Amino acid sequence: MKPPPFEYHAPGDLGAALRTLAEVRGKVLAGGQSLIPMLNMRLTAPEYLVDINRVASLGGIDVTEAGVRVGALARHSEVERAGAHPLLTRALKLVAHPVIRNRGTVVGSLVHADPAAELPAVLAVLGGSVRVARWEGHTQVVRDVPAADFFTGPMESAVQPGELAVSAFFPALGFRTGDAFEEVARRHGDYALAGVCAVVTLDEEAYVTAAKVACIGVGPVPVVVDVSEASGHCPVHELDWAEVGRLVQSAVEPEDDIHASAAYRRHLVGVLAERALWKAAREGAAIRGA
């Protein structure tokens, strides 16, 4: 199918992009890996498209001790190759196929906010943020939206019409911290039926000081569950991770759809949470020196 008609804008710098968005309130076109199929299937019919691909300042990856800032035009494959953040790199390998990752952007995936997408869960479990800009009067107005406020519903984010997400920030993992991402998809590269990413921090005696998961495919937005309290009473090798997995399971409320029943998704979350938490804990202990 072909897309419905739209007026195409391709501004050459950030100021022009923001002014155009403020004026026409169109849809932003980044990698087009979700937007173009949606246009072709006529699931959306914006009057204006604002293509940001010529705005060079939106590219790039900035790595500091505090974390990784990813520009709005940084492609999945570029960020994956940079390998600057272990959990982000791990999650990117699960997103779609290489050809899609060559075009699709990390920030585009966050704004698209598919409940089964991997990257929103990574941002959520790390407590990252998205920088959003708009043109107001004669100037640029910028705000940082924390992950907890960014995902507002299925395929809905805090980015308002006329706004542009300019970058996303993924906080670095601390010392003695391990991470893992486990998911089940029908075929490699498909959206997951359910998935869990986990971050676990240990102390010198291999006791858990912080443990958190974010689950995908089981709610309208990534479901973040803090299991630090349930995991902190004995060394990681003696913990009953299945019990902690059941705790995560009880925090999600999946729904039936054509791909899987709610009961099956709930079952998956328990198993995947146990596996992801154990892997993250083991990594925290073994690789990062507890």
Q: Which residues bind ligand FAD (CB under 6 A)?
A: 27-35, 37, 72, 95-96, 100, 104-105, 107-109, 111-112, 114, 117-119, 159, 164-165, 190-191
Cβ proximity to ligand FAD: between 165 and 239 the closer is 165
Cβ proximity to ligand FAD: between 63 and 100 the closer is 100
Cβ proximity to ligand FAD: between 40 and 261 the closer is 40
Shortest Å distance, C-beta 160 to ligand FAD: 10
Cβ proximity to ligand FAD: between 35 and 276 the closer is 35
Element (H, E) at 256: none
Cβ partners under 8 Å of residue 218, min gap 6: 194, 252, 253, 254, 265, 266, 269
Shortest Å distance, C-beta 50 to ligand FAD: 8
Indicate the residue whose CB is closest to ligand FAD: 104
Shortest Å distance, C-beta 223 to ligand FAD: 16
Cβ proximity to ligand FAD: between 115 and 284 the closer is 115
Shortest Å distance, C-beta 20 to ligand FAD: 13
Contacts 24+ apart (CB under 8 A), 208-215: 208/232, 208/236, 208/239, 208/281, 211/244, 211/277, 211/280, 211/281, 212/125, 213/125, 213/248, 213/273, 213/276, 213/277, 214/121, 214/122, 214/124, 214/125, 215/121, 215/248, 215/252, 215/269, 215/272, 215/273
Cβ proximity to ligand FAD: between 21 and 244 the closer is 21
Instruction: Assign 128 to helix, strand or coil.
Output: coil
Cβ-based neighbour number of residue 171 at 10 Å: 15
Cβ partners under 8 Å of residue 184, min gap 6: 192, 193, 194, 195, 268, 272
Shortest Å distance, C-beta 222 to ligand FAD: 11
Shortest Å distance, C-beta 27 to ligand FAD: 4
